[in-house]
A and B are shown apart, each in its own frame.
Chain A
Amino acid sequence: MRHTFICIGWIAVAFIALYLRVNNLGDNPVHFDEATGASILGQALSGEYPGFDPKHFHGPWLRESTILIARLRGENNWNSLSVETLRLGPAVAGCLLCLTPLLWIGTIRPMSALAAGALLATSPLAVYYSRIYIHESWLALFGMLSCATIYRFLKNPNQGISIFAGISIGLMFATKETFVVYILAWAIAGSLFLFFHTAEGVRPQFRDYLKPFISICFWCVLISAIFYTDYFRNPTAYIEAFRTFFIYETTAGHTKPFTYYFHLLLWPKQALGLIWTEGLVAILACITIPLSLRNKHQVGLIRFIAVAVVVQFLIYSFINYKTPWLMLLTWAHVCLWAGMLFQTWSHFSRIKQSLLSILFISSLGWQVQQSFEVTGNISNDARNPYAYAPSSKDLTNLPQWLENLSATAHIQPAAVVGSSFWPLPWYLRTIENLTYWSDIHPDFSKYAVVFVMPEHTAKADKLLLKSHQRLPRGLRENVAIMMYLRYDIWDKWTKKETL
C-alpha cells in the first residue's frame, strides 16, 4: 500500500514538474541573457567555433546540449532557431532535477525523497528558472547529482562512486564557473562531517579517500576539458576556462545588498494580489534539526546538507553581484533538507504528525499557487519577484511587422546604435545588412531603419527627425528604444492602409 502511494506520488511529481516547466514555454519574450546565449549557439550551429571568452562566457554545456535539440528539430542556424528550442533543454534539466531526491534512497526514507521531489517540482524559483535559456537548471541538476555522490563518497569512498562524482562535478564545471562555490561549500560540510564522525568514535582512514579523490579529479578534468576544448580541438580554451576565475567581468546593475537572497526567498512580499515567499520550506527544513537529534545517522546527513546550504547562502550574499537564479542549486539543497521531515515520522505522536502534515501541505499548496502565477499571466511582470529585467512583449511583434514592411519597401540598410541592446538582435535576425554602432553616424540619415538606445536618442533626434519617423518601442522594463523609419518607407506603409 505504502509502495503504491510512493509510486503514484512520484508520477504526480513528474507530471506537475513537466507541466509547470513546459506549458506555454515560448510565450515570454526572449530575455537579455537568453539572446546572448542564443547568439553563441547560432555561431556553433553554423559550424563556427565560438571559442571561450573568459571575461564574459559561462561554460559550453548549455550550448552543446542545445545543439543536439536544435538539430533534432531541424533548426540549423541562428535565423531558424525558435524560443522553444532554446528553452527545452533547461526545462528538461529542471524536470530531472525534481527526480534527484531518488538518488538518496537508501540514505533517506522513500517518503522523505518524495516530499523533497514535491517541494522541488512546485518551487516557484525552480519552476521559473527552468523555463529560461540560462545555465542554472543544468547546474542545479549536475549539482544535486554531485551532492549525492559526494555524500556517498564521504560515507564509503570507492572507485565506482568516485567516477560518478568526478563526471557530475566535471559537468558542473562545463556548465558554469560558479561550481567552485558549491565545491567549497561541500568541502566545508564534508570536513565537518568527517570531523564529527571521528568525534563520534568512527575513525575514517584518510588514505582510503586518497585514490578515489584522485579519481574524482581525473574524471572532473577529463569531462570538463572535453567540452571546453570542443572535443580536444582547441586545447587552449581549457586554460582560458581557468583564467575566468581571475578576470571575469560582469555588466553593471547587478549589485545588490547582502540581504537580497533572504528577501527574495524567505521574506513575505505582497505583490499582484499574492504573498510571495518560499519561507515555509525553510521552516520545514529547520524543524528537521530538533526532530532528528536522537538519530546520529540523521544528524550527520542533515548537518552535511545544512552546512552546505549556509555556506552557499553566505558566499552568495557576500558577493555584490547577485542574480536571483544563482540561488537555484542552493534552494534544491533546502528542498531536500525539508523533505527529511519525514525521516523519523513514525516516531512522532499523532498530534505532531497532524501539525507537520498541515505545515507541509500548506507550504506545497502555497508553492503551487505561486508557480502557477509565475508561469501564467504575470510571468513577464517585473513585480513578480522572479522576473528579472524582463524584456518587453512589444519586441515580439517586431519581426512580423518588419517582414510585412519589407514586402512594401526595401528596409535596408539598418543599424542599431548604443550598448546593452540585447535581446534586440534576436528580434532583428531577419534583417539583412544590419550593422551595430557605438555612436550616431551622419550616414544614418540615408538608412532605412535605425534603432537607437536611450543614451543616443537626443543626438539621433537632431540628425534624423527631418528624414525619419520616430517610433518608440519597448526593450526591457523601464527601457525604451527609439526606432527611426525613413519617411518614404513610413509614408508608403501608412498609405497602403487606405487602399
Chain B
Amino acid sequence: MKYLLTLLTLSALLFTACGDTSTSSESESAEESAPAANAIEPSTGTFRLTTQIPSELIEGTPQPIKVPNLEPEPKSVPVLMVPEGTVLLSAGKNVTGSDDFPIIGELDYITDGDKEAGEGYFVELMDGPQWVQIDLDKPFELNAIWIWHYHSQKRAYHDVIVQVSNDPSFETGVRTLFNNDYDNSAEQGKGSNKPYVESRFGKLIDAKGVTAQYLRLWSSGNTANDMNHYIEVEVYGHDLIGL
C-alpha cells in the first residue's frame, strides 16, 4: 500500500510537471504576441508588427550543441513598425524551390503557420545554394518578411538572401531586401548585411514598401551542417493603393 501511494504521488508530480511546461510556454507565446502591442501610433499611422513566437523545443531529444558561444542569441522579439492595414499575405500560399525533392518535409510547411522547432515542422533542402519561392498570387506592397530557418540549435545560415520580383523566373525586376552573402558564394551579388544566429524569434526584415508578387529566399548551408532548412516564412504587406 505504501509503495502504491508513493507511485501515485510520483505519477501525479510527473503529470503536473509536464503540464507546467506546456502551460508556461503557451503563456509566454501569448504574451509575446499580445494584442496591446498592435496599437496604432497616431502620429505615424504605424503599429508594431507582431506574430506568434514559437516556444523553445519541448519535444524530442535535444540536439547536441557543440558550438558554444556562437553568438548571444536574441532575447526578445524584434521590433518593426509597419503601416496601418498591414496583414499577413503568405499564409497557405504556394511555395516552390530549387530542390524539388526535399530530404525532410514539404515546401508547404514554409507557409503553413507552424513555427515549432521539432520534426514535422521544418523542410530540409539539399546542400549548396538553394532557394525557395513564395507566390503571393498578385502584387502587393510589402512591409516585412519574417523568417525562421531552424531554431532548436544555435546556428547561423550562410548566404541568406531575400529577393522580390514580379517576374516568377527572377530574371527581371529583381530587388534584394537582405543579403549577407558577403563572399558572393551564392553568386547573387555580394551582400553587406551581417550574418545572424537563428532563434525562435526569427529574423525580421524591413521590406520598405516594395511592390512584388514573388519572393525568393536563398541560403547555402549553415554553421552546423551543409543543409538548408525552413520552418516558416511570413510575408506582411497590404493591397496596392488604387488597384
User: Which residues on A are within 8 Å of B, measured CB to CB?
Assistant: 272-273, 377, 380-382, 390, 392-394, 397-398, 400-401, 404, 454-455, 457-458, 461, 469-474, 477-480, 482, 493-494, 496-497
Contact = CB atoms under 8 A, between A and B. Distances in A.
A381 B226 contact: yes
A480 B128 CA distance: 17
B66 interface: yes
B223 A472 contact: yes
List of 7 A-B pairs having minimum Cβ-Cβ separation, nearest first: A480-B223, A401-B183, A494-B192, A397-B185, A472-B156, A457-B69, A497-B190
Nearest to A380: B226
25 contacts: A380-B127, A380-B226, A381-B127, A381-B225, A393-B127, A393-B221, A394-B223, A401-B184, A454-B66, A454-B67, A454-B68, A455-B68, A457-B70, A458-B68, A469-B194, A471-B195, A472-B223, A477-B224, A478-B65, A478-B225, A480-B67, A480-B156, A482-B70, A493-B182, A494-B182
A6 to B, nearest CB: 40
A393 B128 contact: yes
Given A377-B126, A471-B182, A494-B190, A478 B66 contact: yes
A57 B67 CA distance: 29
A377 B155 contact: no
Contacts of A497: 189-192
B155 A480 contact: yes
Contacts of B194: 469
B103 interface: yes
A397 B66 CA distance: 23
B227 interface: yes
Interface of B: 64-71, 103, 126-128, 155-156, 158, 182-185, 189-192, 194-195, 197, 220-227
Nearest to A401: B183
Q: Is the interface of A mostly helix, strand, loop or mixed?
A: mixed
Q: Is the interface of B mostly helix, strand, loop or mixed?
A: loop
A411 to B, nearest CB: 13
A381 B125 CA distance: 12
Contacts of A392: 221, 223, 225-226
A484 B222 CA distance: 17
A480 B126 contact: no
A130 to B, nearest CB: 22
Given A272-B103, A474-B221, A474-B223, A480 B182 contact: no
A482 B71 CA distance: 9
A401 B195 CA distance: 16
Contacts of A401: 183-185
A381 B228 CA distance: 12
Contacts of A394: 158, 220-221, 223, 226
Nearest to B197: A472
Contact of B225 (A377, A400, A457, A477): A477
A397 B187 CA distance: 11
B16 to A, nearest CB: 35
Nearest to B226: A393
A385 B156 CA distance: 25
A457 B221 contact: no
A497 B183 CA distance: 11
Given A272-B103, A393-B127, A474 B222 contact: yes
B169 to A, nearest CB: 24
A473 B190 contact: no
A308 to B, nearest CB: 37
Residue of B128, B155, B189, B226 contacting most chain A CB atoms (<10 Å): B226
A404 B222 contact: no
A480 B156 CA distance: 9
A392 B185 CA distance: 14
B195 A472 contact: yes
A472 B71 CA distance: 9
B68 A457 contact: yes
Contacts of A457: 68-70
Contacts of B155: 480
A478 B67 contact: yes
B184 to A, nearest CB: 8
B53 to A, nearest CB: 23
Contact of A473 (B103, B189, B191, B223): B223
A453 to B, nearest CB: 10
Nearest to A485: B182
B120 to A, nearest CB: 16
B224 A478 contact: yes
Given A392-B221, A404-B183, A480-B223, A474 B158 contact: yes
A380 B226 CA distance: 8
Nearest to B70: A480
Contacts of A382: 225
A469 B156 CA distance: 15
A457 B197 CA distance: 14
Residue of A273, A470, A480, A482 contacting most chain B CB atoms (<10 Å): A480
B152 to A, nearest CB: 13
A216 to B, nearest CB: 47
Given A377-B126, A401-B183, A480-B70, 17 more contacts: A272-B103, A273-B103, A380-B226, A382-B225, A394-B223, A397-B183, A469-B194, A471-B195, A474-B158, A474-B222, A474-B223, A474-B224, A474-B225, A478-B65, A478-B66, A478-B67, A480-B223
A495 to B, nearest CB: 8
Nearest to A471: B195
Contacts of A472: 70-71, 156, 195, 197, 223
Contact of A381 (B70, B156, B195, B227): B227
A377 to B, nearest CB: 6
B34 to A, nearest CB: 33
A61 to B, nearest CB: 32
A107 B212 CA distance: 74
Contacts of A480: 67, 70, 155-156, 223-224
Nearest to A475: B223
A423 B43 CA distance: 56
A380 B189 CA distance: 27
A493 B192 CA distance: 9
Contacts of B64: 478
B180 to A, nearest CB: 9
A404 B189 CA distance: 14
A160 to B, nearest CB: 52
A292 to B, nearest CB: 44
Contacts of A390: 226
Nearest to A494: B192
A418 B190 CA distance: 30
A231 B182 CA distance: 49
B218 to A, nearest CB: 14
Nearest to B128: A393
